[in-house]
Amino acid sequence: MRALTAFFAVVTLSTPALAAEYFVAPNGSDDNPGTESEPFLTFQKGLEPLQNGDTLTIRGGSYRLMDGASGAQFNRPGGTAESHVTIRAYPGEQPVFLGSLSTEGKSWEDQGGGLYRLDASYLPNDPTGLFTGETRIEHVMKTVSGTRSHADVADVVNPGEWTKADASGAGCPQENAGCYVYLRPPTGMDPNAEVFELSQRKLIFALGTPFLEIRGLTIFYTQDAAITLEGGEGQLVEDNVLAHNSNGNDNSYSIFVSYGGGATVRNNLVYDSKYWGGFSNSKGITLMDMDPDNPSLIEGNEVYDIVGQGITSKDGVGNIVVRGNYVHDVGVCIQPASRRCHWQKSNCTPTDPENYPGGGWTIQENAMVRCGVGVGFSSGEQNEDNRIFNNVFYDCDSGVDVVLAHPGTLIANNIFAKSVRGVFLDHGGSGDSATFQDFLPVFTAHHNAFFDNESDYLLRPDWTGPGGSGTGFALSEVQQAHAIEDASLATDPMFADAPGGDFHLSEGSPAKAAGDGSLYSVASVDMGMYPLGASGSGGAAGAGGAGGGT
């Protein structure tokens, strides 16, 4: 593996007469001019000459960070709306960026009883993730003075677990000197016959870099985030593979975009992002404090294997479009945002200029499969007027969670199938009990299809009982008792191959031409994620679609 250096100085902008292309390759040299025939060696060197309109092309191979700085951070002027700066993979090749150090050439000491240890002193940073290939070894943690920390060795009891501790077995702090990585390997695994990766750092971290394109990269084994874009506008993150991200006592993001606007996150494969605390801060594609007047677009991505939220925010994100994604095996598949203040005025009010509103999300043509919740709202203020239409919710605990605090929700043209509950009216907080009638002012539902759910609707009137408990209703009961779900159907939508992830409607499906076409300015559309038919709008590539939107 060749070194990928990590800190980039501010580069002074001067607009070149002609756009240039520079190249980086594992067999290059930073003494080269950076041409295709004489490429640079390191990513850092490749960034140095970039100006408006330039392209940095990365040849196939592995690029590993080896120094001890805290992040692969760069701050440069970036591009303009007319002349983007592009970082991309060489066509037909796969550059792999690694945010880890490996155990290659190291030896695991057998401690007896199925426990092994490895001297951690060679690592510059505290590791929060341990992997072999595509397998995450589960970290065991303890809490010390309110901080998530490495557990004692005595707590590593199951195969496939690890911690970092000293020679006495006491969990270590962030420092690595005098500490060891303790591993109880999966059953049948000889750790000295494997190469493990220990996460060390975030990778691409662009500060104030507008109109930057990042395309076709594979980024593995990162710590904190694979790609962070802070400030700027108009960035594009497209066709990347981002996997195996970790963090200890803070957020774990695959992609994190903040304090910008007009960003597009498209056609990426995103999976396995986890922090030690589990659900709350384990995140896939995440936005925060974005310009509501310059909305962003998240489309055509496949996101999976995340215990927290798949497409989400840290709040302060309004008016974005989430379209044509395939999100599966995730805690909350898609989570619209509430308002958030700028960090410089954390106690702002909704009328202050430091306030970033939430709500106004358009969630359309997505497949949400095996989710704890398909669409669940972030708690807080200004999370209103979200539109959820032409989606598929399949084999979820809940399709859409509706809460009284977030009015203006539209639920239309969706298909809820084989789930525990389709629409969940959740009043699980404190206060007086709520009735079905109490929820009617905060949402509108029509032209939906329900099939083989335990409950098409479920009302949880108060906090008593388990989180998913309450009174269930079939669609027919809801239609008879309340003025909602006009033109909705209780029927088999006849998916082409739902277990295989293909949610096209077969010929003869009753959901064809049964949707409200006014959302697309036509007379009628199909229900589900392909409103205009097999060749029309909708469909992430992983969900049997063409990978994109209209």
3-state SS assignment for residue 436: helix
Given the structure tokens 């049964």, which residue do they identify? 514
Rounded CA separation 87/215 (Å) = 6
Amino acid at 406: H
Q: What is the pLDDT of residue 74?
A: 67
- What CA–CA distance (Å, rounded) separates 151 from 163? 6
Q: Do the bridges between strand 471-473 and strand 202-207 make them parallel or antiparallel, or are there none, so unpaired?
A: unpaired
- Locate 76 and state its tokens: 């440069």
Residue 479: φ, ψ to 5°: -65, -35
Give the residue-averaged pLDDT of 303-329.
Answer: 96
48-52, Cβ contacts within 8 angstroms, sequence gap of 24 or more? 48/8, 48/11, 49/20, 49/22, 50/11, 50/22, 50/76, 50/85, 51/13, 51/14, 51/15, 51/16, 51/20, 51/85, 52/13, 52/15, 52/16, 52/19, 52/77, 52/79, 52/80, 52/83, 52/85
Strands 355-356 and 340-341: antiparallel
Residue 379 or residue 543, greater confidence: 379
Q: How crowded is residue 146: how many other Cβ atoms within 10 Å of its Cβ?
A: 7
Angle, vertex CA 426, rays to CA 423 and CA 431, nearest 5 = 160
pLDDT higher than 70, residue 50? yes
* Residues 6 or more apart in contact with residue 82 via CB below 8 angstroms: none
The answer to whether 73 and 34 are in contact (CB under 8 A) is no
The whole-angstrom separation of Cα 129 and Cα 173 is 15
Which is more confidently placed, 219 or 52?
219
CB atoms within 10 A of CB 487: 14
Confidence band for 533, pLDDT divided at 50, 70 and 90: confident
C-beta of residue 76 within 8 angstroms of C-beta of residue 111 = no
How confident is residue 81, by pLDDT bands cut at 50, 70 and 90? confident
The larger pLDDT score, comparing residue 70 to residue 340, is at: 340
DSSP three-state, residue 469:
coil
Which pair of structure tokens corresponds to residue 29?
A: 């040299």
Please tell me the predicted confidence (pLDDT) of residue 71.
Answer: 45
| Residue-level pLDDT at 5 | 33
Q: Is 427's pLDDT higher than 50?
A: yes
Q: Residue 458: what pLDDT?
A: 97
Q: What percent of the chain has pLDDT over 90?
A: 77
Instruction: Tell me how many helices (H) and strands (E) the chain has.
Output: 3, 50
Average pLDDT over residues 195-199: 97
Residue 68 has pLDDT above 60, yes or no: no
Domain boundaries, the chain: 1-90, 101-195
Pair 239, 268: CB distance under 8 Å: yes
Q: What is the pLDDT of residue 72?
A: 54
Helix (H) or strand (E) holding 205: strand 202-207
Beta-carbon contacts of residue 31 (< 8 Å; ≥ 6 apart): none
pLDDT, tens digit (0-9, with 9 covering 90-100), for 213-256: 999 999 999 999 999 999 999 999 999 999 999 999 888 999 99
Give the separation between CA 460 and CA 328, rounded to whole angstroms: 25
Beta carbons within 8 Å of 327's beta carbon, 6+ residues apart:
301, 302, 303, 304, 310, 311, 333, 334, 366, 367, 368, 369, 371
pLDDT for the residue numbered 535: 56
What pLDDT is stored for residue 30 in this prediction? 95
SS3 325: coil
Give the DSSP H or E segment for 372: strand 367-375
Residue 148's SS3 state is strand
| Residue located via tokens 């203020």 | 381
Q: What is the mean pLDDT of residues 523-535?
A: 91
Residue where the block lists tokens 């009174």: 471
2 has pLDDT over 90: no
d(CA 335, CA 358): 11
Average pLDDT of the segment spanning 181-204: 96
Q: Each residue of 381-421: pLDDT tens digit?
A: 889 999 999 999 999 999 999 999 999 999 999 999 999 99
